Structure 1
Amino acid sequence: MPSPRAPGLSRKVSILPLIFLIFYEVSGGPFGIEDSVGGAGPLLAIVGFLVFPVIWSIPEALITAEMGTMFPEDGGYVVWVSSALGDYWGFQQGWMKWLGGVIDNALYPVLFLDYLESGIPAVHSGWPRVLSVIAITIVLTYMNYRGLTIVGYLAVALGVFSLTPFVVMAVLSIPRIEPSRWLVANLHNVDWHLYLNVLFWNLNYWDSISTLAGEMENPKKTLPKSLFYAVILVVLCYLIPLLAGTGAVPLNQSLWEDGYFSDIAKIIGGVWLRWWVQAGAAAANVGSFEATLSSDSFQLLGMAERGMLPALFARRSQFGTSLVAILFSASGVVLLSWMSFQEIVAAENFLYCFGMILEFVSFVMLRIKYPNAPRPYKIPGGTVGAVALCVPPTILITVVLAFSTLKVAMVSLGMLVIGLLLRPSLEYMERKRWIKFAKNLDLPELDDHEN
């Protein structure tokens, strides 16, 4: 049997840490959105961060609120898909989402060092950079091992610290702003691949918080509330710096790339503000790494407790965490940190799209199979409303996939094939008794009865 939660570790994560955990799983702040201006200009960048939340973020957050309150346990979307389509597809969902999370987390040590390069040139390349990535990963992995409560309150502190310089920058930019700069657009010179990938990457992963549902304080109430407030926080943390930066500084589109907000801060406020933004960027990447690693490791723990992974993944430490799951997730970060920012984002988005398709199908199927199952938070409209809610984000997924490069598509499809073969391989090893699986029989099962 999987190890139960250690005695005395019944502390659950409350709503404020949850808001910032969602914030860091989805966003982490405006660091990394600069390429949206570089690829498409100010107008399309601003419009994108206004429209994308409506057609993508809000539907995903609503589905997460309904499904997460139906299944308030670790594992999240894996449990949803398993309940709707069976354990085989639940495993595939877990594989794609875990792999996407590991790829996503490989960005944060890279971005962390990118923002430190101006002050510490030695970390630009070579062994100093490699050793720095490893050291950062080890320290943050240990903090994750110490428990989700610590990670949650760390996320709050880091969030306040990393967003404050942008509030200051926005206030200082007001006398310089020329609204006409926001309207600059050249539709004949848009890098649609870069533009869509940056928008999509910065506005997805709302469902990741569901993998921590078993660690939440009263998830049936706190999950929907935390998602609501997190959507507002994320949209504002993108739009305010974007409006300040594009409105207060003359446009040089070629300069708008990863890290350019620190230069804008220097132009608007001086060197001190630039250093504050860079320190905030470093803090934001720490927060995003911690939140994503928590989501990935608790997803593996939840899968193991349902008998989808070897029992060793379900062994909880004295802090209520799975050391094996954490180490397994963190090791992938180190292996993938050699990839470029654009390659990581494109590969992650490709895998994420396939995972979301399974979630949308499961959401509709559960409405059909279990129409009367308890839903503490329910999206109105019945089955027709459920289908209608999934249409806009599905169209967006199709567009994102269509703009993927052949290289990214081939690598990502290869990873999907590995997942298709991995599940039967694990079952074969279980039959041969090479590895041990153990399902937690105390986990709740879904029934089709009203509250």
Structure 2
Amino acid sequence: MKQRLVASVHEKSDLLMREGGYTNAACSSPCIDEGVLDSPPKCETFSKVSIIPLVFLIFYEVSGGPFGVEDSVKAAGPLLALVGFLVFPLIWSVPEALITAELGTMFPENGGYVVWVASALGPFWGFQQGWVKWLSGVIDNALYPVLFLDYVKSAIPSLADGFPRMAAVLALTVGLTFMNYRGLTIVGWAAILLGVFSLLPFLFMGLVAIPNLEASRWFVVDVNHVDWGLYLNTLFWNLNYWDSISTLAGEVENPSRTLPKALFYALILVVLGYFFPLLIGTGAVQLDRELWTDGYFSDIAEILGGVWLRFWIQGASAVSNMGMFLAEMSSDSFQLLGMADRGMLPEIFGKRSRYGTPLLGILFSSMGVILLSCLSFQEIVAAENFLYCFGMLVEFIAFLKLRIDHPSVSRPYKIPLGTTGAVLMCIPPTLLIFVVLALASYKVMLLSIIALLFGFMLQPCLLYCEKKNWFRFSVSSNLPDGSGYRSINEV
């Protein structure tokens, strides 16, 4: 990279804007514009997220509890399901969490992986990363109303389909979107309460299941009757998205210390939150693989503990899906805000409400959820996984390129591996990505490729809009001066 001397923060922003193809019409004010026309903008300091709420935000970004893992038993039987949720985290979750810890502390700002890729591969690929990961996040968020209704439709049959189901999806989306609008701090502490409530019934189910446990049921396997596509998609969906928390790193209290610790604690919580319920469910009831689909844990609860435990599991599913929705929307909306701060999206995406939340980002994300909620659970998982795989391939490349090209840039947390070790760490998850992509149906593959091509066209269109002054683009002057992105581009 050519030597560049920059005299001021605004000149640095000009340089980044030229590299991205945008002109710096005016840097965004560090003050928060509340969108009130009859009063001047006010500067406000919003509360940062501390470690305990951050742990549960990550927990909900990735998991939210065992709701949705049932298909792994249907696809492969008890043994492979249990082994999968122990081995898969080592292959995928640990490397992704480590990369998130290193790059999230290297770039302590909103936007996360978008900034990582832009600094390593250039603004075009940074934008593509933002488009693909935002779209996969919105698709992922569309799952949660579906999962919620799948759990309660046995108690309220009218919610199974038709207008009542559509109305319920809309009401859920609107209500949870409003909670997200009210502030990230509220979302974080709500995640703690929701997380405790959603995991407690499985502890009770484990206690009442002890007399019924038969260890032989855990070792049932039939490799000739395994739906590998459903099996891997279920594991992959339930154990990814560790990098999502990076998109709101700018809202975290002391991210260089807090983020790595929170990722570690969340990893333990997620693995236990999957393995223990599967251990109880497969060991305590007679196996019928066809029954193991989303919502089946509530049936197991009724068998073991009665109607009261079934209702508790259904209630836990409801609040779990609320927590996952809130965490995912926070990540998606702050990602758009971070992209606007870097001049990749129109400046209006960087505007915040009086609660510090990104208004337009929340609106766009909620609209996407409503449009996609009509798809089935399996279709949503497969489409989301395909797009997410593409984004993760780009992310791994960016991680390795930053390690090779900029080894001396400050990394408050650094994975204790050299360049060769970092490459070797990325090989198993990369191979897994290609397996997941190969197992996708032609329908999912076609729709995903169309989505990718749309992103390739969208960025030049935005450049044209900026050139015609149809939208205003700028680099925020409120970005952290010590971020890795600035350090790299000042070398």
Compute the TM-score of the two structures, normalised by the length of structure 2: 0.90
Please tell me the residue identity of whatever aligns with 2:271.
V
The match for 1:52 among 81, 88, 95 is 88
Say if 1:372 and 1:448, in contact at 8 Å, map to a contact too: no
The match for 1:101 among 134, 137, 146 is 137
| Shift in alpha-carbon separation, 1:448–1:423, aligned structure 2, 3 A | closer
Deviates more, 1:376-385 or 1:240-249: 376-385
1:448 is displaced (CA, Å) by 6.0
Say if 1:373 and 1:446, in contact at 8 Å, map to a contact too: no
- Residue matched to 2:256: 220
Alignment of 1:39-78 (within 5 A): 39-78=75-114
- Residue matched to 1:14: 50
1:250 is displaced (CA, Å) by 0.8
- Residue matched to 1:4: 30
- Residue matched to 1:424: 460
The match for 2:423 among 380, 387, 392 is 387
Please tell me the residue identity of whatever aligns with 1:2.
S
Deviates more, 1:426-435 or 1:120-129: 120-129
Say if 1:61 and 1:207, in contact at 8 Å, map to a contact too: yes
Question: RMSD across aligned C-alpha pairs, in angstroms?
Answer: 1.2
Alpha-carbon distance in structure 2 between the residues aligned to 1:316 and 1:267: 49
The match for 1:345 among 371, 381, 386 is 381
The match for 1:146 among 162, 166, 182 is 182
1:279 aligns with 2:294: no
1:82 is displaced (CA, Å) by 0.5
| Shift in alpha-carbon separation, 1:448–1:139, aligned structure 2, 3 A | closer
The match for 1:406 among 442, 445, 459 is 442
Say if 2:105 and 2:255, in contact at 8 Å, map to a contact too: yes
Deviates more, 1:276-285 or 1:107-116: 107-116
1:381 is displaced (CA, Å) by 2.1
1:9 is displaced (CA, Å) by 3.2
Please tell me the residue identity of whatever aligns with 2:377.
F
Alpha-carbon distance in structure 2 between the residues aligned to 1:328 and 1:447: 32
| Shift in alpha-carbon separation, 1:130–1:435, aligned structure 2, 3 A | same
- Residue matched to 1:79: 115
- Deviating beyond 2 angstroms after TM superposition, the runs of 4 or more aligned structure 1 residues are 1-10, 441-449
- 1:360-410 residue CA offsets vs partner (Å, 9 max, x unmatched): 000000011110011111012221111111011001101111111111000
Please tell me the residue identity of whatever aligns with 1:4.
P
Say if 2:198 and 2:316, in contact at 8 Å, map to a contact too: yes
Say if 2:29 and 2:478, in contact at 8 Å, map to a contact too: no
SS in 1 for 2:279: helix
The match for 1:313 among 330, 349, 354 is 349
Alignment of 1:88-237 (within 5 A): 88-237=124-273
Alpha-carbon distance in structure 2 between the residues aligned to 1:84 and 1:140: 36
- 1:128-164 residue CA offsets vs partner (Å, 9 max, x unmatched): 1111111111111111111100000010000000110
SS in 2 for 1:188: helix
Alpha-carbon distance in structure 2 between the residues aligned to 1:406 and 1:2: 44
1:246 aligns with 2:282: yes
Alignment of 1:257-272 (within 5 A): 257-272=293-308
Alpha-carbon distance in structure 2 between the residues aligned to 1:168 and 1:51: 26
- 1:222-248 residue CA offsets vs partner (Å, 9 max, x unmatched): 100000000000000000000000001
- Residue matched to 1:293: 329
- Residue matched to 2:366: 330
Deviates more, 1:373-382 or 1:71-80: 373-382
1:441 is displaced (CA, Å) by 3.2
- 1:252-309 residue CA offsets vs partner (Å, 9 max, x unmatched): 1111111000000111111100000000000000000000000000000000010000
- Residue matched to 2:10: none
| Shift in alpha-carbon separation, 1:118–1:4, aligned structure 2, 3 A | farther
Say if 1:55 and 1:392, in contact at 8 Å, map to a contact too: yes
Aligned residues: 449
1:4 is displaced (CA, Å) by 3.4
Alpha-carbon distance in structure 1 between the residues aligned to 2:109 and 2:190: 23
Rg larger in 1 or in 2? Answer: 2
SS in 2 for 1:180: helix
| Shift in alpha-carbon separation, 1:321–1:384, aligned structure 2, 3 A | same
SS in 1 for 2:222: coil
Please tell me the residue identity of whatever aligns with 2:455.
G
Alignment of 1:341-380 (within 5 A): 341-380=377-416
1:446 aligns with 2:482: no
1:2 is displaced (CA, Å) by 3.3
SS in 2 for 1:200: helix
